[in-house]
Amino acid sequence: MKPAPFEYHRVHSRDEAIARLSELGEDAKLLAGGQSLVPMMNFRIVRPSALIDITRVSGLDHVARDGGALSIGALVRHATLEHLGPEASSGYEILPRAARFVGHFPIRARGTFGGSLAHADPAGEWCMLALALDAQIVCEGPAGTREVEAADFFQGFMTTALAPEEIVTEVRFPRPWPQAAIQEFARRHGDFAIVAVIAALELVDGRCREARIVIGGVDEVPVRVPEAEEALRGAEPEPSAFEEAAAAAAREIDPVGDLHGSVRYRRELTEVLVRRALHEAVGNGG
């Protein structure tokens, strides 16, 4: 298949990108890595009237630390995060671990961090991670710059709080979560996950002070499971607590069955992956 006809515009600045979006209307799409958009165009699932190529916009490919906080530019490639050095990744070791689950090497070499968030696939690793680590997503448009909490950014299946004339410029993580882990199950490595889990723990004096558990692939958006997180708060990080949290997570989700797995299968898979992720998280960052 080939895409339907479209206009192509290359821009070199944020202001030019925003101006083009405002001029061309909501049928225009930004082209960053194109690893999700182009296949959808080829199958004519989407038919944008125009593509605005932002790959040469400067200042959007940074990875920067400010104390404990971490900022990632929208045009940073998945492969960059997969091979992030120890100085940048300290406390954020979950980033290179999660990057290894993103598609295959050609996709990681071309696809972008911000593009993945804007695409908002409910099983997308970066979408799950943004929600788990309380990320703020920086959006820029004609009215200026605003920060959107990850919990408010993902609004439905491939739907976000991003306005038609806005672009994602940066993602900010406020603090490290060294004890975090990701678990996925897919038919083949690189395929979309049937269920994916990110677990992050804050351990103080041998007990869990805070927990984040995010499930992907079971709803229209990545979902946190507060009941499962609450089961961990104040508990010692031991198998019985992990069993309780995993069972709570499986109860709490509301998955839909499809050709890849029934509702029961996704619940059972969620319970197994949450338990594994919690065990792995305890061993990380020590």
Mean pLDDT computed over 133-149 = 98
Quote the longest CA-to-CA distance of the chain: 61
Q: How far apart are CA 218 and CA 229, in angstroms?
A: 17
> At CB < 8 A and 24+ separation, what contacts does 152-158 make?
153/117, 153/120, 154/120, 154/122, 154/127, 154/221, 154/222, 155/221, 156/220, 156/221, 157/120, 157/122, 157/220, 157/221, 158/119, 158/120, 158/121
Q: Is the pLDDT of residue 214 over 70?
A: yes
Residue 103: which of 196, 36, 180 has the closest Cα? 36
Residue 138: which of 111, 161, 172 has the closest Cα? 172
Do the Cβ atoms of 3 and 51 come closer than 8 Å?
Answer: no
Indicate the pLDDT class of residue 259, thresholds 50, 70 and 90: confident
CATH number for the region 179-283 comes to 3.30.390.50
Token representation of residue 215: 């499930």
63-173 CATH choice from 3.30.465.10, 1.10.3720.10, 3.20.20.240, 3.40.50.620: 3.30.465.10
249 SS3 class: helix
Residue 137: which of 169, 91, 102 has the closest Cα? 169
Domain 7-53 class, CATH top level: alpha beta
Model confidence pLDDT, tens digit, residues 70-111: 999 999 999 999 999 999 999 999 999 999 999 999 999 999
Q: Where are the alpha helices (DSSP H) in 49-143?
A: 78-82, 86-89, 94-99, 105-110, 113-119, 125-132
Indicate the pLDDT class of residue 189, thresholds 50, 70 and 90: confident
pLDDT at site 285: 66
Do the Cβ atoms of 108 and 78 come closer than 8 Å?
Answer: yes
Q: Is the pLDDT of residue 275 over 80?
A: yes
pLDDT at site 205: 95
User: In CATH terms, are 7-53 and 63-173 the same topology?
Assistant: no
Structural domain spans, the chain = 7-53, 63-173, 179-283
List % helix, strand, coil for the chain (3-state, nearest 5): 35, 25, 40
Mean pLDDT computed over 3-17 = 96
